Each structure stands twice: as C-alpha cells, then as structure tokens.
Amino acid sequence: MKAFLRSRAALLCLMVLLLLAAAGGRLFFDVKAEDAAASLQSSGFLVPGGQSIGVTMDVKGVLVVGLEELETAEGGTVNPGLAAGLQIGDSILTVEGVAVNSAEEVAQVVNGLQSAVELKVRRKSETLDIQVEPVLSAEDGLYKIGVWVRARTAGLGTLTFYDPVQNTFGALGHAITDPVTGQLLRVDEGLLLHASVESVLQGKAGEPGEIRGIFYEAEEPLGQLSLNTEYGIFGSVYEAIENPYYTQAIPVASPKEVKKGPAVILATLEGDRMQEYDIEIEKVDRQSSAETKGLVLRVTDRELLEQTGGIVQGMSGSPIIQDGKLVGAVTHVFVNDPERGYGIFLQWMLSQVE
C-alpha cells in the first residue's frame, strides 16, 4: 500500500494515507545481503513502533506535475516547457543558477529576465541543463514557461521503529512518491508529527480501506525527516518514543530467522491507542537484494478484521514481530484480498539508515 495525500492545511490537517505508485527510478542501488547484515549488527536492538504519525515534507527542487499549453499575447498557443524538452516528473533545481523551491520562486526569476532561461533539472538519476523560452501569457500578462509544479507533501503513516541509542526512526517501509508522476520525492526539509486516528474506512475486495486522521503542525514535532527511500522514510527524533507493549528495545531478526507461521503487528486504529493484532506469515522470500515485498501476510485477528477488513491504507510501516523479534514492516495490501498483504524485511530498512 503505497500511500500519500497532498494537503495545504495550515495547523490541523485531515489526512489519508493513499496508495502510492512505485518510484520510476531508484534513489539507492540494491544493497547486498552482507552489507545489510553489518548494519543489523550495529543496530542490535530497537523499540517497535505502531504509532500513527503525521509527516510533512518539503520537496527538494520543484517537481513538474504537468505541462500547460499557454495562450500568448499574440493570439497563438504554445507549450514552452514541452517544446524545450521538460517532462512530467522532472525536478527543477535552479533557474539561471538561482535555487528554486516553489512555483512563486520560478515565476519571480522568469519574469525578472523575460527572456530565455537555463534550467538545471534532475530526471531520475540524471542532471540536465534545459533552456526554455518563456512566453507572455494573454491571461494575466506574466511571462511563463508552462509548467505545473509541486513543492510540498504531507500525510499519515505508521512508525516502524525507534532506535534509542542513535535517536533515529524508520517508518512506512516504502517510499513517498508523487501520485501524479510516480516519482520518488527527494527531501529538502521534513518533520515527524503527532497524529490521531479519527476513523477507519473498511476495506473490501477491489476497494482498499483507509485510515483517516489528523496531525498537529502547531505542536512540537516528534522529529526531523531526512531520508525518503524506496524502503521507507528515516530521520532523527527529539525525544524518546515509548511503546506500551514493548517498554524495552527488542532484538532485530535476520531474514534467515523469519519463518512461516504466527506473528503480530502493531497499529493504531483509534485515537492514539496502539494495539497488537495477530497475523500469519504465509510466505518468506529469501531475497539477495533489497525489495519491499519479501513477506506475504494474512490478518487472522478477528477484531482487526471486523474493524478494518484486514490491511488498510495507513498501516504502511506497522511493525511485524515474531518470536519476540522485530522482523519487518507492513508495506502493501492485496487490492482484491484485503485480508492479505506484503511486508518488507527490516534488514532492508536498516540498510538505508546506515
């Protein structure tokens, strides 16, 4: 369940964690098993998450989410961005050497020059220089390059772990991507916030359910977001995060220790009250490189099934615990069978922290 919802609310934001498409290009190369094992050894013990969290993130650069055809003052129509070679999913980093982080900043530079501008653009793993010829818009008399952009995103998710030694956290188990372009969003600045679940829309075959809640930008944040990767989001916390079920850190399981059979997940489905729910690990894929779908899970807890129908959007990051060890996190729901879903080995999440 790859999820994330755009929001412009200022202080109290109603957010839903929506299904996200996989990023078009990898931010990190696949991590080999021996490298991930080393990071496991250095981490040792972690406090499981399960808390509902809010995340706000300013995107590095300005993400192009649309290319617009403009009516010129002369009466014709032109799409200057498309003509110059810009593509949906590109991130504009600079305009004429000036770093930009919003549509307003792009417009300010373009209208200040009123002539051809040089853009530095990131496209997947490449950095390109693209020259665009702005046009005078008949609509408002401003010079434009014909792009729709996005610079900020926000939403709800679930905390996976807290490292009490490093004061770091991991969450989601998958990337935050743009819902329009599918591109992985690169973090400029981001915050981890307190959140409260208001309601849950029950899932059914063909229609994934969703957690609905609020988070509090006006309150002191829980921590700072610094990494958005294909295997989760990561950052530092400002103070210890407590878990009522696990007051002490527990061991991290290596993938070899994970087996088919009973396990539990932690999730918050009402207010800020976390609960432990029974699941069954149906399949274990012994992966040699990082993937987000190493485990197949089935919800067996009657209370969870009655409340949600199984796994719902917003449970991404719910920690998976088996035999007293933290083994991974919930990542996706089976759209046609909400009682089942995928999980990621914690090994791959920890490799990103390293």
Active centre residues (catalytic)? 174, 301, 316
C-alpha pair distances (Å), 119 with each of 84, 111, 114, 130, 253:
10, 14, 14, 5, 47
- Distance CA(171)–CA(183), nearest Å, equals 19
Q: How far apart are the first and last CA of the chain?
A: 25
Q: Is beta strand 325-334 parallel, antiparallel or unpaired with respect to 91-95?
A: unpaired
347: left (phi over 0), alpha (psi -120 to 50) or beta: alpha
The residue type at 341? G
Q: Which residue has the tokens 């839903």?
A: 16
Query: At a CB cut-off of 8 Å and minimum separation 6, what does 192 contact?
Result: 53, 54, 55, 169, 171, 221, 222, 223, 224, 225, 235, 237
